Structure 1
Amino acid sequence: MPPKTALVTGVGREAGLGFAVARELAAQGFHAVLTARRLDAVEPLAALLREEGGQATALRLDLADSDSLRETAGQLADTFGRLDVLVNNASAMPDFRVLNALDADMDDVRTALEVSVLGPWALTQALLPLLKAAPAARIVNVSSRSAQQIATGLDLGAPLRSPAYSMAKYMLNALTGVLARALADTPILVNAVDPGNTATHPERGDAEHDRPAADSARDIVRAATLGPDGPTGRLFSDGRTTT
């Protein structure tokens, strides 16, 4: 029997969360399909997983390019014929230092929405036949606790950090529920995971208490390998269901 297949988006750096997720999935016997906008960035990472004894393939994928989505779907169909796990990990925080929604640059807002909301939505549509071809596929959307700034409301006068990024992740959580409802008559489960503050930027100076990427990755992989009685349309944080 061929191995289960898992596609992870946004795998462009060895220190990144996406690579940690792909590595854990490969360790659990999945054929990990690593994707990023630049093939030259992701190919060495797939090679590293193969050196570690895992099965891995690198593909170029641009979430903002409909032709790229169709090409990826075609490559997966030709090679594997199904997709067991889709991890929407790609993200963009173009407004890292912005503290007020009225100061947001609309180009930054469009970028954040394209990568974190429209991209996962369109990719799910493009890969749906492959997900349905698997016995019980799982979709995991990687969220952020930045979304909770909006979900829980703001104190008057409190800053909204990274408003474009935060709004995009809030909308990704909502999309998770929408997709779960749309797929309720299938074995496919759709959930979101807030990985918490994760140490993925040593070059920028990770905070002392940030979680290792491998720890956060395990939370995401747990959602990607839920059993048939697992929840759908939920948000997990620190391994627990929050909504």
Structure 2
Amino acid sequence: MATKTALITGTSRSAGLGFAVARQLAEHGYHVILTARDQSAAEPLAERLRQDGHAATALRLDLSDRAGMDEAAHHLAETFGHLDVLVNNASVMPDFRVLDALDADMDALRSAMDVSVIGPWALTQALLPLLTAAPAARIVNVSSLSAQQIATGLDLGAPLRSPAYSMAKYMLNALTTVLARALADTPILVNAVDPGNTATHPERGDDASDRPAAESAYDIVKAATLGADGPTGQLFADGRSAA
């Protein structure tokens, strides 16, 4: 039987959601590929998983570098020949303290869109031959509660917090639907998951109510391991469809 493989973007921090997802997928028997812009940041995390008896590899992947994506796809094709799971987890929040759309910085918006929308779109294209080579691949886009500020409509006069980040995650949800439709005639399922407020930045002072990364990772892993009769093109939050 071919080895099940899963690639997770944005796995450079031990407290991060990406690493929690990687660990849980490894526990499900996947060979996990941990990626980061700097491979030296992902390698120690892959080594931790290997020391725990799991199959794990670190790989450099910069979502702003299309040539680098193609190189990664070529490497994976030679090494594994297929990809069962793609988790688009990498994210940036360049306007954490901005509280109004009229104060949005366009450079911050471009940065957020590059990582949360254009990057996952381009990566899906680059990895599509590997995803279609798998029996029934799964693509999971990690969304955010911030996107719901736009999706559910803002009350008149209400501010749009972190406007660049929120808009990028909203567009990622839209991309999820677009990709699901494009792949409707294949066994590939594409869904987005809002992991909720998660304690991934202890150095920044996480709120006491934030969920542990391992708890938030559960719904992402669930979407990554859906059966053949699972949904596609959906946004999930707290295990339920939020679409």
Offset at residue 15 of structure 1 (A): 0.1
Equivalent residue, structure 2, for 1:122 = 122
Aligned AA for 2:92? Answer: A
Tell me if 1:68 matches 2:84: no
Task: Check if 1:176 corresponds to 2:140.
Answer: no
Name 2:140's counterpart in structure 1.
140
Name the structure 1 match of 2:19.
19
Q: How many residues align?
A: 243
Report what 2:79 is aligned to. 79
Are 2:1 and 1:4 aligned? no
Report the residue type matching 1:167 in the other structure: M
1:213 aligns with 2:213: yes
User: Within 1, Cα distance between the matches of 2:232 and 2:155?
Assistant: 31
Identity rate, percent: 77
The runs of 5 or more residues in structure 2 that have no matched partner are none
TM-score when normalising by structure 2: 0.99
Q: C-alpha displacement at 1:241, in angstroms?
A: 1.1
Q: Deviations over 1:154-173 (max 9, x none)?
A: 11221110000000000000
Tell me which residue corresponds to 1:99.
Answer: 99
Deviations 1:95-146, CA, capped at 9 Å, x for gaps: 0000111111111000000000000000000000000000000000000010
Superposition deviation, residue 2 in structure 1: 3.0
2:164 pairs with 1:164: yes
| Distance in 1 of aligned mates of 2:102 and 2:206 | 28
Q: Letter of the 1:164 partner, please give it.
A: A
CA distance in 2, matches of 1:28, 1:52: 13
Residues in 2 aligned to 1:125 and 1:2: alpha-carbon distance in whole angstroms: 23
Tell me the amino acid that sits aligned with residue 228 of structure 1.
A
Tell me by how many angstroms 1:4 deviates. 0.2
Give the counterpart letter for 1:108 in structure 2: A
* 2-structure distance, mates of 1:34, 1:107: 28
Deviation at 1:3, TM superposition (A): 1.8
2:158 maps to 1:155: no
Aligned mates of 2:79, 2:161 — CA distance in 1: 42
Match of 1:58, SS? Answer: strand
TM-align CA RMSD: 0.6
